[in-house]
Structure 1
Amino acid sequence: MKRVLIADDHALLAKGIAGLLRAEYDVIGLVSNGRQLVEEAMRQRPELVVLDISMPELNGIEAATQIHRALPQTKLVFVTQQVDPQYLRAAFRAGASAYVSKQSASDELLIAIRRAAVGLTYVTPALEALVGFAPVSELREEKRQRTDGLTARQREVLQLVAEGKTTRQISMALNISPKTVEFHKTALMNEIGLRTTAELTRYAIAHGIVSL
């Protein structure tokens, strides 16, 4: 029985997904943010990860990127409310095997996971029609592009700043010194030309790093 790790910051949804999967899969854990997801994935090395895009501390796209880089055999299945081609493309570039709308997860999730488990892809039908001009099978091969030019660490700091975390809280979350946090914060501000927390928050929302 393949092992599945589930990540969603809504506990009821995570438990609902777990209940849906337990007849066919070994659910080895539920986590509520992207940083916990990465830590648990590295520790338990599951065959499958089911994750949301909008999660605190580290969003699903960034978490998936880190997991796929370290555990390329782990299949990543997104279950999200973000029914937008932009997020779909980002998910597959991060290493996704499947992308399911939360609105239809009860009907589609098991199908998506079964396909992912055998090396196939799945996209929720409403989105598949919108990306017909670029076959889903090719999305993972597209060069990963960043419109903002930020490093992965800068994006992590940006998300935590936008979530209202203090320098000390960011330092503890990332296991780096406060001085290093300030270094990354200054570097990302210089990169995107913004100075206030409000401006950074709006920027993070506009670029899908955090959600409303």
Structure 2
Amino acid sequence: MHTNTARNPRVSLKPRLVIADDHRMVAEGVQHILDEDFELLEIVADGEALIETVHRLQPDLVVADINMPRCNGMDALKRLRQAGMDTRFVFLTMHMEPALAVAALRAGARGYILKNSAGEDLRNAAQQVMSGGTYVTPALGARYISGQMTDMRSLTSKQLQVLRLVGSGLRSKQIALQLGLSVRTVEAHKYTMMQVLGVHSTLELVRRAEDLGLLF
């Protein structure tokens, strides 16, 4: 169930904001932090409501939790991107794993902020994202995450196909047959991906790919 919290129907020159979090106090805290610079359109409490609201209101920015009922924030973002919606997303979450931040950025998020460091961090993120940049909570090691994003962008679509089949448990000969490649080409792709992702065995490759969200 979504809640309309827009206080004034007049036209505003401020960027338009939707907040998605199933904890009302958190959502109101975000509203308070960003109220000076954004016009709040709605607060929603689950991912399905978020998808509907973004389609209906087309906000300039969404600040969303990842863990939400009905549809989590990451899946909501992916579905909106698949539908052609390019609304800027900032995730505000308790999850401190750098790999999850990488996966969020890969899915199309522009910011990743930890709830325990919101405040000024969230203001900075919102300003940077609205200026066309990205922002990751410094505690997560933005340089590391940026490097991982660069690494992943260097993988070709064919390599990603091979990687997902490796992750499903297929051997090189089976992958070669399924993709119409030679076994040597499949092995070459695996070797290249190991170099790019900094691992030394097929098992490590699969684990690293899982950590980075490449097998979804």
Determine which of 47, 72, 81 is the counterpart of 1:68. Answer: 81
> Quick check: 2:20–2:46 contact (8 Å CA) kept in 1?
yes
In structure 1, the gaps of 5 or more residues are: 150-206, 208-212
Deviations 1:86-120 (A, max 9, x none): 21012111100010110010120010010000110
> Helix, strand or coil for the counterpart of 1:93?
helix
Which of structures 1 and 2 has the bigger CA Rg? 2
In structure 2, the gaps of 5 or more residues are: 1-13, 169-210, 212-216
Counterparts in 2 of 1:43-58, with a 5 A limit? 43-58=56-71
What is the match of residue 25 of structure 2? 12
What is the match of residue 127 of structure 1? 140
TM (normalized to structure 1)? 0.63
> Helix, strand or coil for the counterpart of 1:46?
coil
**Runs of 4+ deviating beyond 6 Å:** 142-149
**C-alpha deviation, 1:129, in angstroms:** 5.2
**Closer, same or farther: CA 146–97 of 1 in aligned 2, 3 Å:** farther
Determine which of 114, 130, 151 is the counterpart of 1:101. Answer: 114
Equivalent-residue separation in structure 2 for 1:105 and 1:78 (angstroms): 11
**C-alpha deviation, 1:66, in angstroms:** 1.5
> Quick check: 2:63–2:92 contact (8 Å CA) kept in 1?
yes
**Closer, same or farther: CA 132–98 of 1 in aligned 2, 3 Å:** closer
> Helix, strand or coil for the counterpart of 2:112?
strand
**Aligned Cα RMSD in Å?**
2.8
TM (normalized to structure 2)? 0.62
* Aligned pairs, number: 150
Percent of aligned pairs with the same residue? 36
**C-alpha deviation, 1:44, in angstroms:** 0.4
**Closer, same or farther: CA 47–4 of 1 in aligned 2, 3 Å:** same
